[in-house]
Amino acid sequence: MELIIAANWKMHKTVAETGDFCRFIRQSETLFTGVEVLICPPFTALATASAALKGSSIKLGAQNMHWERQGAFTGEIAAPMLLALGVEYVIIGHSERRHLMGEDDNQIRQKVKTALESGLKPILCVGETEKEREQGLTEAVIEKQLAGALEGLESGKISDLIVAYEPVWAIGTGKAASTADAESAAASICRYFLSNFGEKKVVGLRIQYGGSVKADNIGPYMVLPSVQGALVGGASLEANTFSALIQAARKAVIS
Ligand code: PGA
Question: Any idea what the CATH number is for the domain that residue 64 is in?
Answer: 3.20.20.70
Cα distances (Å, whole numbers) of residue 99 to 93, 130, 149? 10, 13, 16
Q: How many residues does the chain have?
A: 255
User: How confident is the model over 233-253, as pLDDT tens digits?
Assistant: 999 999 999 999 999 999 999
- What is the pLDDT, as a whole number, of residue 202? 58
Cα distances (Å, whole numbers) of residue 90 to 76, 118, 247? 14, 11, 23
Q: Does residue 161 register a pLDDT over 70?
A: yes
- What is the pLDDT, as a whole number, of residue 152? 86
Lowest-pLDDT choice from 17-26, 87-96, 145-154 = 145-154
What rounded mean pLDDT belongs to the chain?
A: 95
Q: Tell me, in angstroms, the distance from the centre of ligand 1 to residue 71's CA.
A: 31
**3-state percent helix, strand, coil for the chain, nearest multiple of 5:** 50, 15, 35
Q: How many domains does the chain have?
A: 1
- What is the pLDDT, as a whole number, of residue 1? 80
Please answer whether residues 182 and 227 qualify as being in contact, where contact means their C-beta atoms are separated by less than 8 angstroms: yes
Strand pairing category for 162-165 and 121-126: parallel
- What is the pLDDT, as a whole number, of residue 198? 72
Q: Name the residue range of residue 173's domain.
A: 3-254
Q: How many helices (H) and strands (E) does the chain have?
A: 11, 8
Q: How many CA atoms lie within 13 A of 22 on its CB side?
A: 28
Residues with CB under 6 A from ligand 1: 8, 166, 171-172, 210-213, 231-235
Measure the CA–CA gap between 204 and 128, rounded to whole angstroms: 25
Q: Does residue 104 register a pLDDT over 50?
A: yes
The ligand 1 atom at the shortest distance from the C-alpha of residue 170 is 5
User: How confident is the model over 46-68, as pLDDT tens digits?
Assistant: 999 999 999 999 999 999 999 99
Does this model's pTM top 0.95? My answer is yes
Q: Tell me, in angstroms, the distance from the centre of ligand 1 to residue 245's CA.
A: 13
- What is the pLDDT, as a whole number, of residue 203? 59
Cβ-Cβ contacts under 8 Å for 199 (sequence gap 6 or more): none
